[in-house]
């Protein structure tokens, strides 16, 4: 069922169902505060938001694809390619930043367009198609870079995105929040957004109803590719680029965040707010076990346990309703 | 129904992968006394002696890493210095042990004169290497690690323990022999992480006023090292120094301290000759470097050509790391090159394009 089809105010249960991940996030944050004062410090919270920005930004675009009932496994590869490409185009000079960012986002969108065309015109699953394009893009990255992460990041570019507004909130973290808000509004208030939910709920019914299934699917993949490129640019802004596999594994982090955020693999349901909250659950979990100083292997156990418990709690609060 | 099952399975994979990806590295341990004895062995290479012209096969476990790109360029450079080397054939297994086995078998089928390799998984490729040796094709490990097995005739070897010890001694000296520190190490369980931490702890036994607060694993990843450091800065109100032998991670550590306004008074250990780190050292005049020489490829090629000439070679040739003091960093840093680059003495035409 589309979240827009039912009234969000129909019942407290329905509200809890829809925003269960926010409850999980709030509980986890309260636990974190109870265990470490650091989580009360605005600057530290700003750090966590900044850490989450690359994965969170990439996950925003992929959320649209998953609401459609599809998947995009190529975002990690696009992040890697984008980070290297943007650094090369920037060439250490702040004057090149606008062009570098524009071209990088355009190339990411082009990769997304290829994914979209393949999914629209091929009967194979989006899982295998985007897995294939991911491999191809990783290969292109190696060919383009020759195995070393070429390019130089302009210092001004990094200073801008790492600057703290009010000495608290990094611009990069604000970028995540603004992009998430923009896409959430797109989903909630536009015809395009409603079409995504309707197609994800029942693709065949949507097709028979005359909805532009192919065009919407194509557009969602273009958006996913563009946001993956923005994720690559965010990686560059946060910590520069030091390898040609910068984004490797990001697709799994993003998928974990999206699933934790309540988006169903089967489509028709999900929110960008949930995805951002899921991303923050992942990063708070990591930071919590790290700041408490647990042994590395115990950190892995606890981080995994927090994710499993958060996921189970969400299922209990949300999906069973 | 199948779709539902697949969806749930994928959800589990996605969620668990996010938690467990860093655990992929296999555990290794090093018995230093035994290893020293094995490294000192002299290998009789008469059975590999053959006349030129030679074709060198390079079975790369992976190429998507700037260190190995420079290592390969050193192989090409050394090959260019020998008229009897007519060709260098390179295969790339892209982190896939099965493909590396197939690559080695292909190189044997092409009857190359010599195989230089760096492994994805040393044990997985041993049977293929043993077949090559049985066919009279010598094998040399150029990955910086040491392999003592029937499939590896010799190793061009960088001693991680020695590198860690030298870095730790300079670090403790720069620290003034006292203070609270943490260690930023590579992937947990790898030889590099195990040996570097062991070397640090050995050095710290002589300096009881240096307290190791925590040993962390940044996976050779600048962003992860920064993230971990941000947390440690919250956890510990006083940190006097950071032991970080890998330059990539040292950059992430330094950025976290700079962001927190706690760089003043911080002592950074030597990193390696990773260009981004060398540029940082030039700018900040701290830390320096203990090299992890990319010329391992060149030394491996020299070893291989000696084997083909029937000359005895050591089982493990240690390529010594060198200390670069901060005041000398400018001689090594290439300020107009990317961070992901390595200081080397390669001629310009052999540097990666």
Domain holding A77, by residue range, is: 56-271
Q: Within the 96-125 window of chain B, which residues sit less than 8 Å (CB to CB) from chain A?
A: none
Domains in chain B, CATH or no CATH each: 39-158+294-321 (3.40.50.2300), 160-290 (3.40.50.2300)
Q: How far is it, in rounded angstroms, from Cα A19 to Cα A295? A: 33
The yes-or-no verdict on residue B21 having pLDDT over 60 is no
The yes-or-no verdict on residue B183 having pLDDT over 70 is yes
Q: What does the pLDDT read at residue B200?
A: 96
- Intra-chain end-to-end CA distance of chain B, in Å: 52
Q: How far is it, in rounded angstroms, from Cα B284 to Cα B23? A: 34
Backbone Cα Rg of chain A: 19
The yes-or-no verdict on residue B2 having pLDDT over 60 is no
Q: What does the pLDDT read at residue A15?
A: 67
B126 vs A312: which has the higher pLDDT: B126
Q: What does the pLDDT read at residue A225?
A: 97
Q: How far is it, in rounded angstroms, from Cα B126 to Cα B132? A: 10
Looking at chain A, which residue has its C-alpha nearest residue B213?
Answer: A293
Is residue B235 within 8 angstroms of chain A, CB to CB?
Answer: yes
Of B6, B18, B352, which has the smallest distance from its Cβ to A148's Cβ? B352
Name residue B87's beta-bridge partners: B55
Q: What does the pLDDT read at residue B29?
A: 45
Q: Which two tokens stand for residue A214?
A: 């192919």
For residues B52-91, one letter each, b for 16 or more C-beta atoms within 10 angstroms of the residue's C-beta and e for the rest, the string is eebbbbbbbbbbbbbbbbbbbbbbbbbbeeeeebeebebb
**Confidence bin at B17 (pLDDT 50/70/90):** very low
Each residue's pLDDT tens digit, A127-180: 999 999 999 998 899 888 877 777 888 888 988 998 888 888 999 999 999 999
Say which range, A144-148, B163-167, B192-196, B315-319, has the weakest mean pLDDT: A144-148
Q: What does the pLDDT read at residue B14?
A: 45
Q: How far is it, in rounded angstroms, from Cα B22 to Cα A60? A: 24
- Intra-chain end-to-end CA distance of chain A, in Å: 12
Q: Which chain B residues contact residue A257 at CB under 8 A?
A: 18
Alpha-carbon distances of B117 from B151, B271, B314, B350, rounded to whole Å? 11, 26, 17, 19
The yes-or-no verdict on residue B300 having pLDDT over 50 is yes
Q: What does the pLDDT read at residue A247?
A: 83
Q: What does the pLDDT read at residue B165?
A: 94
Q: Are A113 and A105 in contact (CB under 8 A)?
A: no
Residue ranges of chain A with per-residue pLDDT less than 70:
1-18, 242, 296, 314-321
Is residue B340 within 8 angstroms of chain A, CB to CB?
Answer: yes
Q: What does the pLDDT read at residue A267?
A: 85
Q: How far is it, in rounded angstroms, from Cα B329 to Cα B302? A: 28
Is residue B179 within 8 angstroms of chain A, CB to CB?
Answer: no
Answer left, alpha or beta for residue B115, where phi above 0 means left and psi between -120 and 50 means alpha. Answer: beta
Q: How many domains does chain A have?
A: 1
Interface contact B222-A149, CB threshold 8 A: no
Q: How far is it, in rounded angstroms, from Cα B28 to Cα A118? A: 43
Average pLDDT in chain B: 87
Q: What average pLDDT does range B163-167 have in this prediction?
A: 94
Contacts of A107 (CB under 8 A, 6+ apart): A81, A82, A85, A229
Nearest-Cα distance to chain A for B37, in Å, is 33
Q: Which long-range contacts (CB under 8 A, 24 or more apart) does A158-166 make?
A: A158/A236, A158/A237, A158/A240, A160/A237, A161/A234, A161/A237, A161/A238, A162/A50, A162/A237, A162/A238, A162/B259, A164/A43, A164/A46
Q: What average pLDDT does range B275-304 have in this prediction?
A: 94
In a domain, A311, yes or no: no
Interface test with B, best of A135, A242, A312 (most B CBs within 10 A): A242
Q: What average pLDDT does range B141-147 have in this prediction?
A: 82
Interface test with A, best of B61, B64, B90 (most A CBs within 10 A): B64
In a domain, A84, yes or no: yes
8-state DSSP, B274: B
Q: What interhelical angle do B222-235 and A213-239 show, nearest 10?
A: 60
Q: Which chain A residues contact residue B3 at CB under 8 A?
A: 266
In a domain, A317, yes or no: no
Nearest to A285 by CA among A303, A259, A311, A305: A303
CA B212, B215, B221, B227 torsion-angle sign? negative
Report the share of chain B in percent with pLDDT over 70: 91
Is residue B76 within 8 angstroms of chain A, CB to CB?
Answer: no
Q: How far is it, in rounded angstroms, from Cα B85 to Cα A203? A: 62
Contacts of B303 (CB under 8 A, 6+ apart): B140, B154, B156, B313, B317
Q: Which chain A residues contact residue B64 at CB under 8 A?
A: 138, 141-142, 147, 243-245
Backbone Cα Rg of chain B: 22
Q: What does the pLDDT read at residue A259?
A: 87
Q: What does the pLDDT read at residue A14?
A: 65
Q: What interhelical angle do A155-162 and A171-189 show, nearest 10?
A: 70
In a domain, A234, yes or no: yes
Backbone dihedral angles phi then psi of residue A196, each to the nearest 5 degrees = -60, -45
Q: How far is it, in rounded angstroms, from Cα B146 to Cα B134? A: 21
In a domain, A285, yes or no: no
């Amino acid at each position: 069922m589309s979240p827009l089809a039912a009234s969000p105010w129909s019942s407290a249960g329905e509200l809890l169902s829809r925003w269960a991940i926010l409850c999980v996030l709030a509980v986890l944050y309260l636990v974190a505060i109870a265990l470490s004062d650091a989580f009360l410090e605005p600057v530290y919270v700003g750090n966590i938001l900044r850490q989450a920005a690359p994965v969170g930004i990439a996950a925003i675009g992929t959320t649209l694809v998953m609401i459609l009932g599809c998947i995009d496994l190529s975002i990690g590869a696009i992040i890697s390619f984008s980070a290297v490409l943007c650094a090369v185009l920037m060439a250490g000079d702040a004057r090149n930043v606008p062009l570098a960012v524009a071209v990088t986002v355009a190339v990411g969108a082009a990769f997304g367009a290829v994914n979209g065309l393949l999914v629209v015109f091929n009967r194979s699953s989006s899982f295998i198609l985007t897995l294939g394009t991911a491999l191809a893009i990783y290969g292109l990255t190696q060919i383009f870079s020759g195995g070393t992460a070429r390019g130089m990041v302009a210092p001004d570019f990094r200073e801008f995105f790492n600057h703290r507004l009010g000495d608290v909130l990094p611009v990069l973290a604000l970028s995540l929040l603004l992009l998430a808000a923009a896409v959430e509004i797109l989903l909630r208030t536009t015809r395009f957004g409603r079409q995504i939910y309707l197609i994800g709920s029942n693709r065949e019914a949507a097709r028979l109803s005359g909805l532009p299934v192919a065009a919407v699917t194509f557009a969602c993949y273009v958006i996913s590719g563009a946001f993956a490129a923005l994720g690559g640019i965010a990686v560059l802004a946060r910590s520069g680029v030091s390898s040609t596999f910068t984004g490797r594994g990001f697709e799994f982090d993003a998928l974990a965040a999206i699933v934790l955020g309540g988006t169903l693999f089967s489509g028709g349901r999900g929110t960008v707010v949930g995805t951002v909250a899921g991303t923050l659950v992942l990063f708070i979990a990591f930071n919590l076990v790290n700041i408490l100083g647990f042994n590395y292997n115990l950190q892995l156990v606890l981080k995994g346990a927090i994710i499993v418990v958060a996921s189970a709690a969400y299922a209990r609060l949300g999906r069973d309703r | 129904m199948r779709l539902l099952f697949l969806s749930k399975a994928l959800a589990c994979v996605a969620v668990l992968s996010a938690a467990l990806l860093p655990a992929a590295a296999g555990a290794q341990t090093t018995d230093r006394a035994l290893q020293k004895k094995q490294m000192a062995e002299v290998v009789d290479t008469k059975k590999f002696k053959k006349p030129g012209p030679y074709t060198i096969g390079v079975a790369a476990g992976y190429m998507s890493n700037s260190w190995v790109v420079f290592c390969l360029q050193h192989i090409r450079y050394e090959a260019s210095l020998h008229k009897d080397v007519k060709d260098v054939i390179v295969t790339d297994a892209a982190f896939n042990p099965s493909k590396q086995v197939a690559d080695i078998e292909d190189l044997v089928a092409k009857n190359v004169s010599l195989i230089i390799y760096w492994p994805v998984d040393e044990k997985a490729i041993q049977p293929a290497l043993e077949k090559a040796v049985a066919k009279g094709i010598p094998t040399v490990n150029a990955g910086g690690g040491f392999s003592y097995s029937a499939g590896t005739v010799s190793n061009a070897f960088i001693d991680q323990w020695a590198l860690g010890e030298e870095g730790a001694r300079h670090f403790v000296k720069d620290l003034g022999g006292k203070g609270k520190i943490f260690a930023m190490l590579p992937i947990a369980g790898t030889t590099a992480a195990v040996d570097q931490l062991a070397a640090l702890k050995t050095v710290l036994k002589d300096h009881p006023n240096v307290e190791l607060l925590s040993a962390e694993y940044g996976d050779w990843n600048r962003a992860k090292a920064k993230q971990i450091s941000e947390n440690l800065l919250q956890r510990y109100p006083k940190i006097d120094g950071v032991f970080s032998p890998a330059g990539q991670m040292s950059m992430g550590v330094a950025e976290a301290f700079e962001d927190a306004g706690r760089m003043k008074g911080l002592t950074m250990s030597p990193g390696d000759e990773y260009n981004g780190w060398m540029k940082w050292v030039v700018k900040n005049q701290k830390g320096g470097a203990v090299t992890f020489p990319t010329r391992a490829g060149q030394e491996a090629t020299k070893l291989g050509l000696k084997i083909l000439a029937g000359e005895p070679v050591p089982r493990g040739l240690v390529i010594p790391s060198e200390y670069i003091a901060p005041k000398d960093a400018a001689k090594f840093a290439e300020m107009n090159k990317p961070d992901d680059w390595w200081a080397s003495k390669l001629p310009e035409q052999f540097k990666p394009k």
